[in-house]
Amino acid sequence: MSVGRVLEHANGVTGPTGVTGVASLKALIPHRFPMLLVDRVLEVEPGDRIVCLKAVTCNEPWYQQLPDDTPDSGYAYPTALLVESWCQSAALLAAWDQPREVVADQVALFGGISGIQVHGPVLPGDLLRHEVRISRALEGTWFFEGTTTTADGRQVLVVESVMTALRPSSVLMPPAREQDSGAEAPGVKVPV
């Protein structure tokens, strides 16, 4: 199956070169503005690997409070967001070939991350290419590894291992509480 066909299978719509855009990403992961940090899927081999793009711009919310005299180095993309963007690519790979009705009720839970290496700053204008591979898969749980490079070939992130699990969103709901009966707790006086 070609990459373009795989992309079409996953979202029903492809771009002119077989890329998957934002509308399709929103069908797979719950992230929205300002925390949807993947712009496109370029390649995917379900159950194996994915390549995603993130364009960093100076119009992102985390730059809005910087004073006008901030030097270029002050616009370094936050490392936590760089890692989050890569992890969203991993979540897309985990959800890619799951049935829509299953994905709609699932959340990606990240359970651990190790071996993170950041190699230099990412600045507005950089186009990030996240390459994510599944290194191990168990029932509903995946271990990922990969890298992020800029359009000019600079490697800015290496990830040795990230663990994620797709679970029903209902497991995150707090247990139902009993309705307040109006009775006072033992030893507690309620003023009237």
pLDDT tens, residue by residue, 38-56: 999 999 999 999 999 999 9
Residue range(s) defining the domain that contains residue 82: 3-170
Query: Residue 137 pLDDT more than 60?
Result: yes
The predicted pLDDT at position 53 comes to 97
Distance CA 179, CA 139 (A): 37
How far apart (Å, rounded) are the C-alpha atoms in residues 22 and 38? 8
Q: What is the CATH number of the domain that holds 150?
A: 3.10.129.10
Residue 27 lies in a domain: yes
- Is the pLDDT reported for residue 120 higher than 50? yes
pLDDT at 14 over 70: no
Within-domain flag for 92 = yes
Give me the chain's average pLDDT, please: 85
Buried b (16+ CB within 10 A) or exposed e, 110-124: eeebeeeeeeeebee
Per-residue pLDDT reduced to its tens digit, 144-170:
999 999 999 999 999 999 999 988 888
Q: How much is the average pLDDT of 63-68? A: 94
Q: Is 178 part of a structural domain of the chain?
A: no
pLDDT bucket at 187, cuts 50 / 70 / 90: low
- Number of structural domains, the chain? 1
Quote the percentage of the chain above a pLDDT of 70: 82
